Chain A
Amino acid sequence: MRVALFLTCVNDTLYPDTGRAVVKLLTRLGVDVDFPMAQTCCGQAHYNTGYRHQAEPLARHFSDVFGSDEYDAIVTPSGSCGAMVRELYPRMGERARSEGRGDGLATTLAPVVPKTYELTEFLVDILGVTDVGAYYPHTVTYHPTCHGLRSLGLGDRPTRLLQAVKGLELRALPGADECCGFGGTFAMKNSDVSSAMGTDKVRNAESTGADTLCAADNSCLMHIGGTLTRLKSGVRPVHIAEILASTEEDPLS
């Protein structure tokens, strides 16, 4: 199976370790991974802030880069960018049509929509694995990020994967389904509310006694992680891909 890794611009720039973990994990599972070099950004920040028209060229670019038949699937370690492609690209095409601009955008975007999978979804639904042979001897609490939880409906896929990790003890996070307060530009436009939400998330994570807070989206982890270090918390924010990539021979340091 040949897969295109859609890493997202945030991960590419700020969290390359997550990308390396995805490559390591998928390669271990026998998947042929490619990273199309021309990829940039799915346009989510533009779209969600109200710049739909400026998100359109980015969506077209995404389709140009990832729409190739040589890929069986497009895999991304980001629930919110996955949701952008799967949920919002069709909506963008629909809106363009209702504005009298024809089917062009919808037709361009259509090929990538059904092929795009968030990482845990791809592992469980397409590869059919829950035990990926990982080893991570830590106590972990899992934060299901909003877009993964509600837009993509990831359900218990991430926690099933985590439960199968050797040495890992999973601890339930109180108020797990509550937003961490990131929300893209919301974190800056409504900084006070965003910070209050982040602080509550951190307190909930601490209350579990876990040493690791895990999520499937680095944008949320950036917000939670920035709050964790500011509050001098000992909890470590880690992307789920890095836990799943970790093995006894080559553990996550």
Chain B
Amino acid sequence: MPAFPTAAREAVGNKTLRANLRHATHTIRDKRARAVAELDDWDQLREAGKRIKDETLRHLDRHLIQLEESVTAAGGTVHWAADADEANRIVTALVKATGETEVVKVKSMATQEIGLNEALEAEGIHAYETDLAELIVQLGKDRPSHILVPAIHRNRGEIREIFAREMSEWGRPAPDGLTDTPAELAEAARLHLREKFLRAKVGVSGANFMVAETGTMVVVESEGNGRMCLTLPETLISVVGIEKIVPTWRDLEVFLQTLPRSSTAERMNPYTSMWTGPSQEDGPSTFHLVLLDNGRTDTLADEVGRQALRCIRCSACLNVCPVYERAGGHAYGSVYPGPIGAILSPQLRGTQSEIDASLPYASSLCGACYEVCPVAIDIPEVLVHLRERVVQGGEVTRHGTRVTLRPAKGHAAERAAMRAAGWAFGRPGALRAGQRLASGTRRFHPRTLPGPGRAWSATRDLPKVPAEPFRDWWRRTNGGRAEKGDKK
């Protein structure tokens, strides 16, 4: 993946993409604002959600052990995966043990994070995404670009085209003469998917929440496809990040109010599925839970950055972010795009790669993301914290060990400029000399700048340097008191 600015440049130049994104994000952000305004205790809910998550994270080890005990007591099996490879190996082995070569999937960013579909494919197992937007992405051989609406970058015409071209490759073809009306597109997807639901013996899911006290998994969704995936197969394998845990059922009350309103602007989501272990009468008779770490414990060790683990994946921050709106989700080079992705990905993956080192800068620090976050993640604070890591290096935890990072490459000139500015600002005399030099040479200032400044002057005019900086005026006129009289 190229660094964010390069990837974003392409998106900014794509008019269709920008129009799709603008329309979708503005529609949903306005709806969200109305849905949130209905609750007069929103601020208390937000504070409660933040507190529950923080306290849970503080004692995460204890809650996870309780969860393992509860799931096991309910007849499920718990697996611990330290990283993506281990998680993929576990799931692949579990599917192979059933003798099946097809799985249906729903609601799992965690499996995208670890690249499970590709790992299964390598072992001859086909994984079918069944969330409508995920289906569009998979059929289009595309990547998701939004947490909640992975196909947000596509319009109806593009979706019709993808369905007509690709569905037959994967199963039931799209009906002849398919148009781009939402009802027809939904019906085509419904028929295509229904065939897969009825055939599938193995389901793979994620979970929005895991309740430690009872070992209950919770999935909230809008389409009912999740319910199909969670109830029709004989074996259900859920891959869930360890931060998705809440201690008690009572804690869910807060999130079942804040999540739907923040994400889809609904008072309540249409489907909330909860299951506790397998069932011999109805639903899957075998249940496996794969608890995924993959950088989460390392993130927890960072006292500023750990708040990113409060995230409940509502995507409200994406929908208000002016940078996301123009750059699109793909530019973030991660399954988690937008402001939350910009702080989560470089923590889960480290800041070594070019894309990860560029993500903390993919923000103007306008603060709109923090304002809408239902668990009050101070995203700008974490962005600045990660910028520090990129330019200065420092101590971080990787794979459970404290290591010292070196500063990322490509910041030497900036570091020198910051140091020079720091030096001048430490000496008022030097600042004044610099200002006078700038004023004295103002007639010779170029209209366009060299070096990093070129990026500025390509689209914006520079301000004209005034003939006299303020401090000289103040001194000359004694703070304006002598202005109308003789010049001193």
Q: Which residues of A contact B (CB under 8 A)?
A: 7, 9, 11-17, 19-20, 23-24, 27, 33-35, 37-41, 43, 45-55, 57-58, 61, 91, 95, 98, 146-147, 149-151, 177-179, 181-199, 222-223, 225-227, 229-230
Smallest distance from the beta carbon of B226 to chain A beta carbons, Å? 34
Cross-interface CB contact of A188 among B303, B367, B453, cutoff 8 Å: B453
* Contact present for B419 and A54 (CB under 8 Å): yes
Query: Nearest residue in B to A34 (C-beta to C-beta)?
Result: B479
Binary A-proximity of B430-442 (CB < 8 A = 1, otherwise 0):
0100010010000
* Contact present for B426 and A147 (CB under 8 Å): no
Query: Nearest residue in A to B424 (C-beta to C-beta)?
Result: A40
Q: How far is the CA of A194 from the CA of B419 in the complex (A)?
A: 25
* Contact present for A33 and B479 (CB under 8 Å): yes
Q: How far is the CA of A69 from the CA of B13 in the complex (A)?
A: 54
Q: How far is the CA of A55 from the CA of B463 in the complex (A)?
A: 25
* Contact present for B468 and A192 (CB under 8 Å): no
Q: How far is the CA of A60 from the CA of B392 in the complex (A)?
A: 21
* Contact present for A226 and B473 (CB under 8 Å): no
Smallest distance from the beta carbon of B130 to chain A beta carbons, Å? 34
Query: Nearest residue in A to B480 (C-beta to C-beta)?
Result: A23
| 23 A-B residue pairs with CB within 8 Å | A12-B469, A12-B470, A12-B471, A13-B438, A13-B470, A16-B468, A16-B473, A27-B480, A46-B418, A46-B422, A49-B391, A49-B414, A49-B418, A51-B388, A54-B419, A150-B367, A150-B368, A179-B368, A181-B364, A187-B456, A191-B455, A195-B460, A197-B323
Contacts of A194 in B (CB 8 A): 364
* Contact present for A45 and B421 (CB under 8 Å): yes
Query: Nearest residue in B to A32 (C-beta to C-beta)?
Result: B479
B462 within 8 A of A: yes
* Contact present for A16 and B363 (CB under 8 Å): no
Q: A-B contact count, CB below 8 Å?
A: 201
Contacts of B388 in A (CB 8 A): 50-52
Contacts of A195 in B (CB 8 A): 458-460
Q: Which 8 A-B pairs have the closest CB atoms?
A: A183-B364, A50-B387, A226-B460, A191-B455, A179-B366, A16-B470, A146-B366, A19-B470
B371 within 8 A of A: yes
* Contact present for B431 and A197 (CB under 8 Å): no
B428 within 8 A of A: yes
Contacts of A53 in B (CB 8 A): 392
Contacts of B468 in A (CB 8 A): 16
Contacts of A12 in B (CB 8 A): 435, 469-471
Contacts of B470 in A (CB 8 A): 7, 11-13, 16, 19-20, 35
Q: How far is the CA of A53 from the CA of B362 in the complex (A)?
A: 22
* Contact present for A197 and B364 (CB under 8 Å): yes
Contacts of B438 in A (CB 8 A): 13
* Contact present for B459 and A198 (CB under 8 Å): yes
Apart from A15-B466, A41-B425, list 18 A-B contacts with CB within 8 A: A9-B425, A12-B469, A12-B470, A13-B465, A14-B466, A20-B473, A37-B471, A48-B387, A57-B426, A58-B425, A98-B303, A181-B322, A183-B363, A188-B453, A193-B323, A196-B18, A197-B364, A226-B460
Q: How far is the CA of A229 from the CA of B303 in the complex (A)?
A: 45
Q: A35-B471, A150-B366, A227-B459 are in contact. Are A189 and B361 (CB under 8 A)?
A: yes
Q: Which of B1-9, B105-113, B145-153, B188-196 contacts A (4 or more CB under 8 A)?
A: B1-9
B261 within 8 A of A: no
Smallest distance from the beta carbon of B272 to chain A beta carbons, Å? 33
Cross-interface CB contact of A190 among B304, B323, B480, cutoff 8 Å: B323
* Size bin of chain B's contact surface: 35 or more
* Contact present for B381 and A186 (CB under 8 Å): no
Which residues of chain B (344-386) have a CB below 8 Å from chain A? 360-368, 370-371, 381, 384, 386
B474 within 8 A of A: yes
Smallest distance from the beta carbon of A85 to chain B beta carbons, Å? 15
Query: Nearest residue in A to B422 (C-beta to C-beta)?
Result: A54
Contacts of A98 in B (CB 8 A): 303
* Contact present for A223 and B418 (CB under 8 Å): no
* Contact present for A151 and B367 (CB under 8 Å): yes
Smallest distance from the beta carbon of B391 to chain A beta carbons, Å? 4
B220 within 8 A of A: no
Q: A58-B426, A91-B381 are in contact. Are A196 and B479 (CB under 8 A)?
A: no
* Contact present for A191 and B5 (CB under 8 Å): yes
Q: How far is the CA of A223 from the CA of B456 in the complex (A)?
A: 9
Q: How far is the CA of A130 from the CA of B360 in the complex (A)?
A: 40
B452 within 8 A of A: yes
Q: How far is the CA of A61 from the CA of B167 in the complex (A)?
A: 66
